[in-house]
Amino acid sequence: MKHWLSFLLIAGVAWGAEYRAGSAKVDITPKELIWLSGYASRNKPAEGTLQPLYAKALAIQDKKGARVVMVTTDLIGLSRTITDTVAARLGKEHGIERGRVVFNSSHTHTGPVIRANLTTMYNLSPEMDAKVAAYTRQLTEDLFTVASAALGQMKPANLKYVEGTAGFAINRREAASGGVKIGTNPKGPVDHTVPVLVVSGEDGRPMAILFGYACHNTTLTGEHYKYSGDYAGFAQAELEEATGATALFMILCGADQNPNPRSSEKLARDHGHELAEGVKAAMAKPGTAVKGNVRGAYQSIKLNFKPHTREDFEKEAQSPDRFRVNRAKAMLKAYDEGAPVRTTPYPVQAVRIGNAMTMVALGGEVVIDYSIRIKREYPREKFFVAGYSNDVMSYIPSVRILREGGYEADSSMIYYGQPGPYSEDVEESIMGSVKGVLKRVGVK
Ligand SMILES: [Zn+2]
């Protein structure tokens, strides 16, 4: 039997394919009408389905048998409890290391609440909370299933990396009297690049398309109550329809970027169409053929919060704002238990596919400054710099944004149940770790 296996592996090489690859998708639309996540203004559960939600996986194996798996989801933000559970099971049953499995969530705001993300945003009834818990359990199972399916059906494949553009993301940090508000800032930094990894079968036809964009997946505002993947969902559906391939969307560092304009179903479809057109135009270009080993590296670091005292939260507990009261209660409980929250664990990952494409996968809602800085510091690399990967515990501001203040720096921490803003070493801590994982996958 062993001889047959090695014969087949050699045959795979002889066919002229550089890699083996497999993709799979599973429908994860809740069967029940669950509370939708993302907007604090939600006041009732979902009312139906505009478009199904999916979890998808793309597995790639090099000539030496080393593998990586990318798992993407039409969801608000996967928590570490989910991704650690799925990754551990993939390690046990498929022998794949943690550093070689990437999880990304598209940050659609028309998907269900899942555990444990945005913990203090909703005061759910015990019945709704039980539905959320049941959905989260099923989701954990589904993510393992979809990754296993991709790993289990790999075929000879060739890869190319290409870049396109889409112009609908706008910087949303608008200067206002007394600080920064969420609006539009046409002069603020953006990154309109659409990185695309095209996986083709031996017949030359695409079997999977992995693409990314740095923009909040929030064309549909808080008055929309039907499940959907927002612009990213429409872009994926259009690409799958046009090519027959599995289209997987990864959200990049779009935490301070919004679709512009926004708020209607038509605009979500229009932005999805623009993004799909950007991907198709890129695919028509020759691009860079990807060749060589696949590698992955993962590190969990700790990010420091700005110092706080028990008195800060005793005061906040008296606030008329129920979100602040929820946060204050959680923080006082931690003080009572003798373990005030001073740091949060933070996942940093790099995956390099051959000589041509590198993925940096960062946890949390990462602002565009990180993408711009990483690309500037490694000008020769072709990057997917993804946020919302492996865990979403808070916004991740740069030092610049931390100093300017506003939602991404400060007030969003209330909804995430975190004690307050990060300390100013946040950017250097993350960049130090990024450099470390990049070195481990061979990027200098
Ligand atoms: Zn967000």
Whether the pTM exceeds 0.85: the reply is yes
CA of 66 to the centre of ligand 1 (A): 34
Question: CA 115 to CA 417: how far, in whole Å?
Answer: 13
- Beta strands at 343-353 and 173-176: parallel, antiparallel or unpaired: unpaired
Contact yes or no for 101/90 (Cβ under 8 A): yes
Q: Which two structure tokens, joined as six digits, stand for 212?
A: 């990314």
CA of 329 to the centre of ligand 1 (A): 23
N-to-C CA span, the chain: 41
Contact yes or no for 406/318 (Cβ under 8 A): no
Q: Which two structure tokens, joined as six digits, stand for 209?
A: 């398309």
Is the link from the previous residue into 339 a cis peptide, with omega within 30 of 0?
Answer: no
CA of 412 to the centre of ligand 1 (A): 9
CA of 255 to the centre of ligand 1 (A): 6
CA of 395 to the centre of ligand 1 (A): 7
CA of 262 to the centre of ligand 1 (A): 15
**Rg of the Cα trace of the chain?**
21
Q: Is 392 helix (H, G, I), strand (E, B) or coil?
A: coil
CA of 252 to the centre of ligand 1 (A): 12
Q: Which residues lie below 8 Å from residue 326, measured CB to CB, with a gap of 6+? A: 120, 123, 417
CA of 143 to the centre of ligand 1 (A): 22
CA of 256 to the centre of ligand 1 (A): 8
CA of 356 to the centre of ligand 1 (A): 30
CA of 430 to the centre of ligand 1 (A): 19
Question: CA 397 to CA 422: how far, in whole Å?
Answer: 8
CA of 38 to the centre of ligand 1 (A): 7
Residue 301 is inside which H or E element, if any? strand 294-304
CA of 42 to the centre of ligand 1 (A): 15
pLDDT of residue 355: 85
pLDDT of residue 116: 76
CA of 22 to the centre of ligand 1 (A): 31
CA of 107 to the centre of ligand 1 (A): 7
Note down pLDDT in tens along the chain; length 444 residues.
444 444 444 444 445 799 999 999 999 999 999 999 989 889 899 999 999 999 999 999 999 999 999 999 999 999 999 999 999 999 999 999 999 999 999 999 999 999 876 666 677 889 999 999 999 999 999 999 999 999 999 999 999 999 999 999 999 999 998 889 999 999 999 999 999 999 999 999 999 999 999 999 999 999 999 999 999 999 999 999 999 999 999 999 999 999 999 999 999 999 999 999 999 999 999 999 999 999 999 999 999 999 999 999 999 999 999 999 999 999 999 999 999 999 999 999 999 999 889 999 999 999 999 999 999 999 999 999 999 999 999 999 999 999 999 999 999 999 999 999 999 999 999 999 999 999 999 998
CA of 28 to the centre of ligand 1 (A): 21
Query: How far from 164 is each of 192, 205, 211, 248, CA to CA, in Å?
Result: 8, 19, 10, 15
CA of 155 to the centre of ligand 1 (A): 37
CA of 60 to the centre of ligand 1 (A): 30
CA of 153 to the centre of ligand 1 (A): 34
Domain ranges of the chain: 19-294+358-399, 308-341
Axis-axis angle for helices 426-440, 368-377 (nearest 10): 50
pLDDT of residue 6: 47
CA of 108 to the centre of ligand 1 (A): 9
CA of 408 to the centre of ligand 1 (A): 9
pLDDT of residue 31: 96
CA of 230 to the centre of ligand 1 (A): 13
CA of 254 to the centre of ligand 1 (A): 8
For 38, list phi and psi in degrees, rounded to 5.
115, -45
CA of 124 to the centre of ligand 1 (A): 20
CA of 365 to the centre of ligand 1 (A): 6
CA of 217 to the centre of ligand 1 (A): 8
